[in-house]
């Protein structure tokens, strides 16, 4: 603490410097004892300093209670110098303080020093009344007491001690300080009273605020009385109806179909329905009115009317399009997925700026377990919309979407109408989960039935077969999820705004496990605070026991590990907390389940590392080529290769024959030797043109005897003349290369723009080299490519 600080003013001076405490929602008056809680570090430091030095503190209210780190502009000018009587630490962050206000003071300067607020203050005692003002003071005191009595009669709780003190004291200064301290005024009003320059104006301000407060309380009581009257009437009507029902039951007339029909018509009239819809429902209610209790059709009509009237006609939730709130919600629920979050925020921004945007259907596409369903829930939360999930996996009946016609026994509305009824809102967020898993058969095509529901030009008058009346779905926000776009019909896919979710990186999986999966499983297993999983343990689990694009299997493995820990704690009575090590993981979970991927890790002849896309992420796909002498020029292709990949292999052979001389290859070998091309993991089907440059590289290497650089992976389609064409799935393939430790990846030149979608951590660790022709590929991949070309040219010259 600086030596210049003065805690007590010398005789004859009224200015001093002392620690200041900013109060939220609390105004302290002189000569009053208050309890308050302090939790901010600067305030705690000021209290501790004052107690250590037996010094007073300056208690001042802040203008906005939401400001966490207030400065001079955030505080009122007037406060109270107080003496700390006692303080008690409640927990690690908060302390309870008992303080007594001594006198009013005005803050002239505020500075932040040594982790607390220091204020230069000047005594600001209130101006006392002159002799000719005493009668005025007495009148104000009497009126304030009258308002105090009125305040109590309005039901406000005041302690007996406070009542006795106020009513038995006539001192104007005491009343002006004691009453506002013990009455529930707004802190802004209390501050206004405190800042009054003289006693008369303070009493006048207190009386004015007291009258206003009592008037508000009287209005509240009137409103409460009216509400009670309405409630009593409703309860009376309810009991009368119950008694009437009992009487009708005794008379055998309890199931009065006519009274039901009348009730239906009243409800129809009370709903905001279109004229044609109301006419149809009233027609059904009239039919019900004319039927007798024994008619089976009455049950069908009742079920129909109940279904129609249970729909939330005209009920909408108000959208919250706060982008900052949406950002916080998405960051809280999901780690990573930055590009996905950016797309979602862009969609919300457009809805905010353009007002009502109809026909926007979001399709989240990605491998299993990457958070598609949970992202939809987060969108619903941040937009303040009701959330309903519809699983479409395995749905093959059109009636599941559009409902059954009422001519069938047991007919029901479709899933869309059922979802609207469940949401109790006409503008919910409906998640159409696994939309790529729908099928069709003789009962119809559910994908075709969805076309009307997802078409912004038609869904305003969507007709369910069961309802047979139009219902407005244009305000519904549809979000669909899929693992693969290939199985979604093109007309349906054309109505969607596709957002792709890629595989998680190892770093993302680690952070997701730390922030979400581990706390969730610790809570579920009851081991919170008893077991600790360091980063090294989570890395061991990710690397040795999971192999997936998402994190579902990782969560199951963490749960299994914690169950093993729970058993160990119970059986061996290990002292808590139990901190696991990577060695403990193998003891609890057994040997590593994930075997190292097969790929070329050393420079070899005839083996090149390619990259492949799968529905669960990317994979490194090695290609092996073996040249067998004394053959017949036959080409053998193995490894479950598809037709397109076989054609790529034939292109590679043709290219090798034409350019054999450039790489020192005897062209006659291709006529007499057999060539065997193999892709390992033969049980896994493989197809696609993107292995073209890998096949060519491995073949040229095998024929020339030149090894391939094992730290380079590649992907690209080839033409007969050696051009390299673009491919798909670059993000997933790049992730696979990064995961397997590749240093360089060769990609087609036309895919260079796709690097924008590749994660930053991958681009930092892997060098991506765009290529246009096969000779560029071979120059990069073959260890001695340039020397081979020079030797070939020399032989040709000789």
- What are 109-132's pLDDT values in tens digits? 999 888 889 999 999 988 888 888
d(CA 602, CA 741): 13
pTM exceeding the 0.75 threshold for the entire prediction: no
503-543 pLDDT, tens per residue? 777 778 888 888 889 999 989 988 888 888 888 888 888 88
pLDDT at 581 over 60: yes
Measured in degrees and rounded to the nearest 5, phi and psi for residue 108 equal: -105, -25
pLDDT given for residue 252 in this prediction = 55
- pLDDT recorded at residue 431: 92
Tens of pLDDT, residues 711-756: 999 999 999 999 999 998 888 899 889 888 899 999 999 999 999 8
CA 66 – CA 426 distance, rounded (Å): 36
Does residue 650 have an active-site annotation?
no
CA distance 656 to 658: 6
Binned at pLDDT 50, 70 and 90, residue 356 comes out as low
**Residues of the chain with pLDDT > 90: what percent?**
23
pLDDT of residue 81: 94
Q: So what's the pLDDT on residue 1?
A: 35
Q: From the candidates 690, 701, 704, 710, which is the catalytic residue?
A: 690
Average pLDDT over residues 212-224: 86
- In this predicted model, what pLDDT tens digit does every residue of 757-770 receive, in sequence order? 888 888 999 999 99
Instruction: Identify the pLDDT of residue 683.
Output: 78
Q: Is 285 exposed, middle or buried (0-12, 13-18, 19+ CB in 10 A)?
A: buried
pLDDT of residue 780: 92
| Other residues' Cβ atoms within 10 Å of the Cβ of residue 759 | 21
- What pLDDT is recorded for position 359? 57
Residue 587 has a CB neighbour count (10 Å cut-off) of 11
Distance of alpha carbon 170 from its chain centroid, rounded?
60
The larger pLDDT score, comparing residue 562 to residue 238, is at 562
Q: Identify the weakest region by mean pLDDT among 246-260, 300-314, 488-502, 513-527.
A: 246-260
Give the percent of the chain with pLDDT over 70.
91
Write the pLDDT tens digit of every residue in 609-637: 999 987 666 888 999 999 998 878 888 99
SS3 content of the chain, % helix, strand, coil (to 5): 45, 20, 35
Rg (CA), the chain: 40
Q: What is the pLDDT of residue 245?
A: 53
Q: What is the mean pLDDT of the chain?
A: 84
At 139-190, the pLDDT tens digits run 988 898 888 888 888 877 788 888 888 888 888 888 888 888 888 888 888 8
Q: Per-residue pLDDT for 249 more than 60?
A: no
490 is catalytic: no
From 42, 190, 372, 733, the catalytic residue: 733
Residue 6: pLDDT band (50, 70, 90) is: very low
* pLDDT (average), residues 417-445: 86
Question: How far is it, in rounded angstroms, from Cα 606 to Cα 625?
Answer: 5
CB 716 within 8 A of CB 725: yes
Q: Which residues, 6+ apart, have CB-to-CB distance to 54 below 8 Å?
A: none
């Amino acid at each position: 603490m600086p030596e210049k600080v003065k805690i007590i003013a010398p005789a004859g001076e009224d200015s001093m410097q002392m620690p200041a405490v900013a109060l939220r929602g609390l105004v302290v008056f002189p000569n009053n004892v208050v309890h308050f809680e302090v939790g901010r570090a600067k305030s705690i430091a000021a209290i501790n300093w004052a107690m250590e030095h037996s010094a007073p503190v300056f208690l001042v209210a802040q203008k906005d209670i939401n400001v966490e780190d207030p400065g001079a502009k955030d505080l009122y000018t007037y406060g109270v110098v107080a003496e700390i009587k006692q303080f008690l630490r409640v927990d690690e962050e908060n302390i309870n303080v008992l303080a007594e206000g001594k006198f009013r003071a005005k803050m002239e300067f505020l500075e932040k020093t040594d982790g607390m607020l220091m204020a230069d203050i000047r005594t600001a005692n209130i101006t006392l009344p002159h002799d000719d003002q005493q009668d005025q003071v007495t009148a104000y005191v009497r009126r304030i007491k009258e308002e105090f009595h009125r305040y109590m009669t309005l039901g406000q709780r005041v302690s007996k001690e406070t009542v006795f003190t106020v009513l038995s004291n006539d001192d104007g200064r005491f009343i002006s300080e004691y009453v506002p301290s013990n009455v529930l005024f707004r802190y802004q009003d209390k501050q206004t009273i405190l800042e009054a320059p003289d006693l008369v104006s303070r009493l006048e301000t207190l009386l004015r605020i007291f009258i206003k407060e009592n008037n508000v309380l009287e209005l509240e009581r009137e409103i409460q009385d009216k509400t009670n009257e309405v409630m009593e009437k409703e309860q009376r009507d309810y009991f009368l109806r119950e008694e009437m029902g009992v009487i009708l039951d005794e008379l055998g007339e309890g199931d009065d179909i006519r009274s039901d029909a009348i009730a239906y018509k009243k409800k129809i009239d009370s709903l905001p329905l279109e004229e044609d819809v109301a006419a149809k429902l009233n027609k059904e209610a009239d039919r019900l009115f004319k039927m007798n209790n024994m008619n089976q059709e009455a049950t069908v009509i009742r079920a129909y009317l109940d279904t129609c009237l249970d729909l939330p006609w005209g009920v909408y939730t108000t959208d919250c399009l706060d982008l900052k709130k949406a950002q916080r919600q998405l960051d809280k629920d999901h780690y990573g997925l930055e590009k996905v979050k950016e797309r979602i925020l862009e969609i919300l921004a457009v809805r905010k700026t353009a007002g009502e945007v109809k026909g926007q259907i979001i399709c989240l596409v990605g491998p299993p377990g990457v958070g598609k369903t949970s992202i939809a829930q987060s969108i619903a939360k941040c937009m303040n919309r009701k959330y309903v999930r519809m699983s479409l996996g395995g749905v093959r009946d059109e009636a599941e979407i559009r409902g059954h016609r009422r001519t069938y026994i047991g007919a029901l509305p479709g899933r869309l109408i059922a979802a609207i009824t469940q949401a109790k809102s006409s503008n919910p967020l409906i998640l159409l989960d696994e939309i790529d898993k729908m099928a069709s058969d003789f009962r119809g095509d559910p994908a075709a039935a969805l076309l009307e529901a997802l078409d912004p030009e038609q869904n305003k008058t969507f007709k369910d077969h069961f309802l047979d009346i139009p219902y407005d779905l244009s305000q519904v926000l549809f979000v669909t999820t899929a693992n693969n776009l290939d199985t979604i019909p093109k007309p349906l896919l054309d109505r969607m705004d596709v957002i792709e979710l890629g595989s998680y990186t190892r770093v993302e999986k680690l952070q997701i496990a730390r922030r979400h999966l581990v706390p969730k499983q610790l809570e579920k297993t009851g081991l919170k605070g008893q077991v600790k999983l360091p980063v090294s343990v989570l890395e061991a689990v990710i690397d040795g026991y999971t192999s997936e694009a998402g994190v579902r299997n990782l969560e199951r493995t963490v749960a299994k590990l914690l169950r093993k820990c729970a058993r160990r704690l119970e059986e061996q009575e290990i002292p808590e907390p139990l901190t696991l090590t990577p060695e403990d993981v193998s003891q609890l979970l057994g040997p590593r389940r994930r075997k190292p991927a097969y790929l070329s890790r050393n420079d070899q002849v005839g083996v090149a590392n390619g990259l492949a896309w799968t529905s669960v992420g990317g994979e490194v796909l090695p290609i092996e080529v073996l040249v067998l002498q004394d053959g017949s020029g036959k080409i053998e292709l193995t490894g479950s290769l598809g037709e397109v990949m076989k054609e790529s292999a034939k292109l590679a052979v043709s290219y090798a024959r034409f350019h054999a001389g450039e790489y020192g290859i005897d062209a006659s070998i291709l006529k007499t030797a057999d060539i065997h091309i193999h892709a390992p993991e033969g049980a896994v089907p493989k197809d696609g043109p993107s292995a073209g440059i890998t096949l060519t590289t491995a073949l040229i290497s095998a024929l020339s005897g030149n090894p391939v650089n094992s730290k380079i992976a590649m992907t690209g389609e080839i033409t007969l003349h050696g051009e390299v064409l673009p491919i798909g799935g670059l993000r997933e393939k790049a992730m696979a290369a990064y995961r397997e430790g590749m240093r360089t990846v060769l990609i087609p030149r036309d895919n260079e723009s796709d690097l924008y979608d590749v994660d930053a951590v991958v681009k930092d660790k892997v060098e991506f080299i765009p290529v246009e022709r096969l000779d560029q590929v071979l120059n990069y991949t073959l260890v001695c490519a340039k020397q081979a070309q020079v030797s070939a040219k020399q032989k040709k010259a000789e």
